[in-house]
Amino acid sequence: MTFIISSDNNSPPLTSPHTTEFTPKTLEQQLLQEDALLRGHFRLSSGLHSDTYVQCARFLRRPDLAAPAAAELARRIQEAGLQPDVVVGPAMGGVVIGYELARQLGVPGIFTERDETGQMTLRRGFTIEPGQKIIIAEDVVTTGKSTNEVARVLEGLGAKVLAVASLIDRTSGKADLSFPNFALLPVTAATYAPEECPLCRANIPVVKPGSRPDKAFS
């Protein structure tokens, strides 16, 4: 069974033309408003199991919520003195936030995706030039594994990864990254290797709400 932390969906949007400050609490309230913060037993895109899942697609379906969040990420990036040439948002979770962040920063936004073998790559005519500076955009950084995978692809093309920017950091700043991690909201959640998962031992059905195909876990 999946439990959803929710608030009244009929409540008015939390953003308004008079909103001047975007805080972690702002995002947390919006996730709750959109029924995007889930509790239960989940298989994450990393292959790990967890008691918590943030379904950012439910949040990002709202342009009026996505734009202020991306604007805050852009502000933090620029405040740090970073100016990318391109924003890369890995499919699927990074596509929408990557596009909006690119718009806020005034640069092109493209995405990587997995090929038929499950390997991350650039397709659809997207290219990276040697020396270009990149911000990787993610909806959620879970372990840092996928972000590092994307970084290796980009660096293999001669690009320089400046940072990753995400809505959610599930690692509490502990992701093994060689570049800065800008995140709007830390989310504490238990994660387990499948063979050590107490939720599995309790026979609680596992849900895989993400979009990565099963072959990508092999």
Supply the pLDDT for residue 67.
Answer: 95
CA–CA gap between residue 162 and residue 67 (Å, rounded): 22
142 assigned binding-site residue: yes
Q: Is 207 annotated as a binding residue?
A: no
pTM value? 0.77
Q: What is the pLDDT of residue 171?
A: 82
Mean pLDDT check: name the lowest of 1-10, 80-89, 173-182: 1-10
**Lowest-pLDDT choice from 7-11, 29-33, 124-128:** 7-11
- Residue 109, pLDDT > 90, answer yes
**pLDDT, averaged across the chain:** 85
Beta bridge partners of 161: 134
Amino acid in the structure at residue 125? G
Cβ(187)–Cβ(52) under 8 Å? yes
Give residue-wise pLDDT tens across range 7-29: 344 433 434 344 458 888 999 99
144 is in an annotated binding site: yes
Q: Is 170 annotated as a binding residue?
A: yes
Query: What percent of the chain shows pLDDT beyond 90?
Result: 61
3 state SS of 38: strand
Q: What is the reported pLDDT for 20?
A: 56
> What pLDDT score does 211 carry?
54
Ligand-binding site membership of 145 (annotated): yes
**138 labelled ligand-binding:** yes
Reply yes or no on whether the pLDDT at 182 is more than 70: yes
24-202: CATH class: alpha beta
